[in-house]
Amino acid sequence: MREMRIEPIGVIHTPHARPAGTPIQPRMAEGIEGTVEVYEQFAPGLKDLNGFERIWLIYWLDRAPEARLVVRPFMDDTPRGLFACRAPCRPNPIGISCVRLLGVEGAVLRISDVDMLDGTPLLDIKPYAPHFDAFEVGRCGWMDGAQRARMAARGLERPVADGRFEGEGEGGGEGA
Amino acid sequence: MREMRIEPIGVIHTPHARPAGTPIQPRMAEGIEGTVEVYEQFAPGLKDLNGFERIWLIYWLDRAPEARLVVRPFMDDTPRGLFACRAPCRPNPIGISCVRLLGVEGAVLRISDVDMLDGTPLLDIKPYAPHFDAFEVGRCGWMDGAQRARMAARGLERPVADGRFEGEGEGGGEGA
């Protein structure tokens, strides 16, 4: 039985210093580059990663506010259950982002489409495989109508965080 | 700064008692049903989840063996870097699975396409949204050729775990 204890395996560097203005998902961060610095002792695990076009980064939303079980998500003004949202204020503030892998140089990954804050602690890297991770769905709950309506109302082309999860601390970019 | 400490928010019940024979991914577990029991104090966060066809379960691979940085993945016999694989023996043994949501009854979710072991501790639930999570890629590293070749060699229709990650403990179903 693995003890329930986590430790950073590296750190993610991005241009996003604060939640406000940070893209809420990689899809809305296309072309924004960053790096992943993997700590030396974990570097042997990076072998063979180079062949993948996209990778999952699993990370700790270290600046997320305390958990709230009902939130107003970025894409909607109606209060929603937290588990129906991607907002950072979670009981276990773990973020997942599928970023583009541009290159591997030693223990440093060059990545693109970054939606997390600079200095975010990295917990895991997994290869992205569409036959594992991409599914067609017919329904997407409250998101189905909300995104279009909200972006139109704000005149936005790319949904970005607006600071509502900054609270005492700062929220991460992951949201919806 | 959120302290790096995790706690289960529920438990996942599946028909998979042992790693050997457990599907390595939800895609290979289509139609296999399970339930998620969310602890009462987190139940308010389930509001609005019902409208989503698929959800991400983020969970603790509690029976994964100690971390190994180079592994022979389920789909290949060549040693590969751990971070280029979905094998459970990770520094932070966190699994992600996109399962089908069949229904929400109080604090219990009925789900399908389960690839995790019975009794797996749940860390988070996120809604699955193709516009966030589904990406087309041109390259999938070592997986591109390995899956077809290995399944053919074994006469398998559905890749399942074969117990190689059982070690002293038991590996979870998440693998590749």
pLDDT tens sequence across B37-79? 999 999 999 999 999 999 999 999 999 999 999 999 877 889 9
Tokens 């389920």 sit on residue: B74
pLDDT at A89: 96
Give the global pTM.
0.88
CATH number of the domain bearing residue B118: 2.40.30.70
CA distance B171 to B164: 8
pLDDT digits (tens, 9 = 90+) for A49-72: 999 999 999 999 999 999 999 999
A98: which chain B residues are within 8 Å (Cβ-Cβ)?
A: 133, 135
Structural domains in chain A (count): 1
In a domain, A125, yes or no: yes
CA distance B136 to B38: 33
pLDDT at A96 over 70: yes
- Segments forming the whole domain that contains residue A37: 10-130+138-154
In a domain, A71, yes or no: yes
Minimum mean pLDDT range among A13-27, A148-162, B33-47: A148-162
For the four alpha carbons of A84, A126, B13 and B151, in that order, the dihedral sign comes to positive
pLDDT at B110: 98
- Cα atoms in the Cβ-side hemisphere of radius 13 Å centred on B167: 17
Contact A88, A95 (CB under 8 A): yes
What's chain A's average pLDDT?
89
Which string of b and e fits B153-169 if b means at least 16 CB within 10 Å?
eeeeeebbbbebbbbeb
State ipTM.
0.87
Question: Given A70, A132, A143, which is nearest B44 (Cβ)?
Answer: A70
Structure tokens at A109: 């990954």
Q: How far is CA A26 from CA B69, B95, B124, B133, in A?
A: 27, 20, 20, 9
Q: To 10 degrees, the CA torsion angle through A169, A162, B134, B68?
A: -20
Q: What is the mean pLDDT of residues A21-40?
A: 93
B interface mutation test: which of A133, A142, A148 has the most B CBs within 10 A?
A: A133
Query: Could you give the percent of chain A with pLDDT greater than 90?
Result: 70
pLDDT at A162: 67
In a domain, B175, yes or no: no
Smallest CA–CA distance from B47 into chain A, residue = A81
In a domain, B171, yes or no: no
How far A47 CA lies from chain B's nearest CA (Å)?
4
How far B155 CA lies from chain A's nearest CA (Å)?
19
In a domain, B174, yes or no: no
Query: How close are the terminal C-alpha atoms of chain A, in Å?
Result: 34
Q: Which residue has the higher pLDDT, B18 or A77?
A: B18
CA distance A132 to B64: 20
